[in-house]
Structure 1
Amino acid sequence: MPRATIRLAVVALMAAIFVMVPSACKSAKFETSNLVITPARVVVGGEVIAEVDVANVGNGQGRYRISVKVDDQELYFKTLTLAAGASEKQSFTLTMHKTGTHLIEIGGLQASVEVISFDSAWEDTRQRMLALKSFHFEEQLTLQAANVLGAAITGDVLMPDRIRATMDLQVGFLLETMEVVILGDEVYTQDPHTEEWTGPSELTELFFLNPMNMPREVHHIEDPRWMGTKEVGGVLCEGFRGKTRLLSDLQVGEETPLAEVWGWIGCEDRLIRKITMEAIFTEEQPITVYVDIEFSNFNQEITIEAPISP
């Protein structure tokens, strides 16, 4: 064989070796990061969501077994296949059955979650609601009898006794918007046509559920029971249901029946984010009352003053 041909063959063989060796050495390498447990505090029997990022930082595709442990006991595992340089966020839903502080471990990362009893959670919520200084509310009210009375009220509350709100009132086919400011036992109203304020006059009764009473009246919700979790206004919440006489604020009749109540409590701050009530008043004719209130912007610095000088 000519020497030139041999030289070319050797060069080709060496080139093939240099191409094949890196390929043969490719391997996967996995890293986990950003373990987050939501919420970090939950009622016994509730669920937490554990999320973690898994990345293949190697130079070849590979398989990775990710394990989920609670207090050193493996509950789940999952096998991932990731290409080189790829990453995925993995999510696991865990039901917490025992009170106490529990250690969750995923892919070598650890985080703790506190599981509290139902009674502790409810008392915590009641105390936090009582401590509120201010909040924003959006209320929907419907009274259905011979005619339908509807009201949409949006406003702010400065505890203990001040409200500033805008009300859209509907009676049958009539719709009217008005502004109202309540300072203790005095109320100021704005004429929707002239936009002039009148008052103060004595606050005798409200035709909507007084949101100022909500923090205090949470104590009187009877037989509360926990439900599942969902997001309310972008906040992860735990649900409850029970019975209440909160609708006595509306002064619909002489006797106030127990109303069915559903509510949603923020998992992290333990404040009520939404509450819904429904009751039927039976006197001369049945009246169905439905109220839905959402709460937000807790403990903001706000001022509510009289719109005109007395």
Structure 2
Amino acid sequence: FEFEAYMAMKAKKINKMLDVAIPLRHPLKINEAMRYSLLAGGKRVRPILCIASCELVGGDESLAMPIACAIEMIRTASLIHDDLPCMDNDDLRRGKPTNHKVFGESTAVLSGDALLSLAFEYIACNTNNLSSAIGSKGLVAGQIMDIESEGKVVSLKELEYIHVHKTAKLLEACVVCGVIIGGGNDNDIEKVRIYARCIGLLFQVVDDILDVTKSSMELGKTAGKDLVSNKATYPKVMGIDEAKNFAYHLMNQAAQQLACFDTAKAAPLYHLAYYIANRQN
């Protein structure tokens, strides 16, 4: 299976759709700000997860593409807001100055809001899994707990709560929406939901490890921010070696959920789990 070629092909299609979704029109500044962050690169893991999950159960890519693009808009909106001075106060994202550094704080806030609103134009007639994943029961819950945990002693259970909600819930929405659109049954949905929860936590464990082992240049964002902010991280709670072991366990657990599916159709999801576990930035 040519994983890199697969990812590049899917990302190219997604980028084309995203480019069309936000034309440069009046008022120009807000549309420029939205496009700046949405089209700034990135691996498009979340929308590809949605498409791959749809195809896993026999669905067509075209069915999943609108919701896949909506998910990327929501993800980008969350990053714009996350980088703001009142949140993580980051200057770099994907190797470029963050939105508020280029367009100003007020425009950055509005561009994130606008991307979130635009996303729901794509999913108004689809499942409610996505809306619950990004609200006070999902991404927002994880973010507020993450902020409140700064400088505190946090248990492994509390840390898992933060990242299940902040990271894994949106990944769950990606795969569940994909499987529903593709015509999967309840068992298929539950399998991919567990898979997504595992890779969501895996993503965060690896992110925490990279934050203390890589430079800002290697990461394309500010390294060591969690240490400076005294945030709860997996290396801090478990130690780096145990965090690496936990990452390996999560990767294997994710792969086990795919055993009941057609091997060829499940290949992108297998390789995504491996890729997330072994990424270097």
Structure showing greater radius of gyration is 1
TM over 0.5: no
Higher relative contact order at CA 8 Å, sep ≥6: structure 1 or structure 2? 2
Q: Which has the higher strand share?
A: 1
Q: Which has the higher helix share?
A: 2
Q: The TM-score by the shorter chain falls in which range?
A: under 0.3
Task: Give TM-score, length-normalised by structure 1.
Answer: 0.23
Task: Give TM-score, length-normalised by structure 2.
Answer: 0.25
